Structure 1
Amino acid sequence: MKPTTMLFTFVTCITFTASALDNTKIEQITGLKGTLNEAEKVFKVTYPRGDLGVAVDKWNIPAFMGLTTWAAFTDGNASATMVMGDFVLMQDEVNPVMSSLLESGLSVTALHNHFFFDEPKAYFMHIAGEGSLEQLAKGVRAGLDKMKEIRASSPQPAKSFGNAIPDKNSITAAPLLAVLGGKPQEKEGMVKFTIGRIAKMSCGCEIGKEMGVNTWAAFAGTDDNAVVDGDFACLEGELQGVLRTLRAGGIHIVAIHHHMTMENPRYIFLHYWGLGKAAELASKLKTALDVQAK
């Protein structure tokens, strides 16, 4: 009986460490061809954005030089599969694609530029996720489909959000104060709220609101036709909930990145732009603030 038991244990170990990726299924679901890196046990699908016609410093940049959407799959730890990737997007694609990815259970981990003097402007949305292979591949496909849908309906990228913001500002602070609380700043018809948070730098210095660890919201325009822009300072565990809440409220996310290094706790900053009635925008921001408080 002992030799049989030993053999059973050995076979079980081999079965556990073998890759569970179904590369053919990834290709079928995403609609993209992929390549396998056997050494790293990673299967990567790519979508070169040759449709964009992006010029950097007046040079027509090939997709090979950094304009390729990709998603890489590998075996997970807590879940069966893990995915990481990067979507190359036009400005009018960013938020609809982000919503599709978030609704599919994927995480959006960064949003920023990779170039200067690019025309039209390209943005890069980094993604991650853990779950079943089918769930993750479908999430990537949802983002790709939304991206293609936008370009099919409008081959030329949009150059604005399509809202005319009044030239003269006349925001009433009281209704916003009732929602957001605190003590806002007011200037020339604009109203700004700032909420501080605390971090400690590697030198031991504690930093807060005035040193840049803050969430803020600035309102301009009129009460019925307002714009709000600002920044959420999020702990890493808060980021996805805040993103989902803001996108559900129609708030545009325009950047996700860090502002510091070596701080504790670590903060990720997301910048946003919203349009609508001032009081309604304030309520949407308050909902996202409440997500952080949970």
Structure 2
Amino acid sequence: MSTPIHPRHSGIVSRPIGASFVTAGLSLLFVLTACSPKDKEGDQDEERAESPAAEQQEKQTAAVQPQAAPTPIDWSKVAGALGRSGAVQPGDVYRVGIPRSDLHVTVGRVLIKPALALGSWVGFKQTGPNEATAMGDLVLLDSEVGPVTRKLQEGGIEQTAIHNHLLHEAPHVLYVHIRGQGEPDKIAAAIHSALAVTKTPLGEATGKSESLDLNTTKVSQALGRTGKVSGGVYQVSVPRAEKVTEAGMEVPPAMGVATALNFQPTGGKRAAVTGDFVLIGSEVNPVIRALKQNGIEVTALHTHMLEESPRLFFMHFWANDDALKLARGLRAALDKMNVKPSS
């Protein structure tokens, strides 16, 4: 019969069974922790830090790819809805002129041609797939303002200004500035509906040309700018040097933020001049002084937009005198402004 071995004499330390499992579990946890994902991530971070090319590749992969340009708008649909076609101007602006050839407006003895100061217009700028912002200016008689603005509001078209441009004209004329956002053909249809309550001619313009009794070469030299002949009027456009935005959207000069200088010959080397200077606040009074020193009357000073940046003021003017003298006076005013250099 064998003699039992006492634990103290066997060389084996006796422990409770539960304690052995705890010890083994802690050892396993230590091993798992030592090989945890954090250490693997740390190793990967070190690898990336040691490999700038790999990090750059990751950034390029994560970068958002630029979206494709939207399909260009079919402006013929806009022309159909508006009842009159236009043309694409610099800055991708589709601009439609709607002269009030039905009106006979005089200032003193001068019968105003539509191209001088009676031209309604609207410009469209694409802002997304079949979406555009429209801005414009509608020439209205006093009696037309209420019905037209009612129709515009019904069609979702905003009014941003209502005011005069001229003084002493007969009959009295007001100008309603507008802004719309959305599907361009629907905007055009809403504007057409508003103009339909007036006698504004909405058919296509007749293409008759008029001779111009004005030395446009000398006028251009005096201004330091060249223009174009339209409707018996010499028209000069002078864009500002800085970018102009409205509600965050860049507004190209063709959407109404370029200075307009218009010359209508009145005989004997004279011309009636009108238009508007597009100014920032610090330019307003220097330009007023330059105009007055050259016999040009300021007829209005106001805003045309609601959310533009920089803040802009539009100064309208009038004179009927020697064309070259007036051109030099207008040049003196331009010299007080931040305008793009002539090309």
Q: TM-score under structure 1 normalisation?
A: 0.44
Say which one has the larger Rg. Answer: 2
Q: TM-score under structure 2 normalisation?
A: 0.38
